[in-house]
Amino acid sequence: MQQKYCHSLLAGVVLALAAASAWSADPVGTKAQQQTQTQQQVRDQDMYGYQLMTPQERDAHRAKMRSAKTVEEQERIRAEHHTQMQIRAKERGVTIPDEPPAGHGPGMGMGGGMGPGGGMGGGGRK
């Protein structure tokens, strides 16, 4: 009888550990998914008129900008897009800024730099 109780207890512990393991693995996936979604939202906000565009339109605009061969072609695409978004905003009765957001360009993010007290040199405690 006691042996049967031990086997049941052991089976319960194993089952609980398996469930806990599966549950703890899920938040990691969820966290990565949320981070990807946040990065996408930040990237979208750098696009002029993003709030007036569908996700497919945003992707198409990004692809068009990437496929431009010259800086001049990118500027032309950007200017056309700017005009289209102003027209769309007016049609919908929405106000958007006259100028696109001052983006950092591709690959540039929140650069921390050294900041006060940074670096390897003296100037610290003596």
pLDDT tens digits, one per residue of 57-114 = 999 999 999 999 999 999 999 999 999 999 999 999 998 888 765 554 444 444 455 5
- The pLDDT, as a whole number, for residue 43 is 58
- Closest Cα partner for 97 from 59, 58, 45? 45
Share of the chain above pLDDT 90, in %: 33
**Rounded (5°) CA angle 109-110-112:** 130
- Indicate if the pLDDT at residue 28 is higher than 60: no
Cα 82 to Cα 3, 41, 67, 93, distances in angstroms: 76, 19, 18, 16
- The pLDDT, as a whole number, for residue 53 is 92
- The pLDDT, as a whole number, for residue 107 is 43
- The pLDDT, as a whole number, for residue 2 is 62
Q: Identify whether the C-beta of residue 97 lies closer than 8 Å to the C-beta of residue 86.
A: no
Amino acid in the structure at residue 7: H
Secondary structure (3-state) at 109:
coil
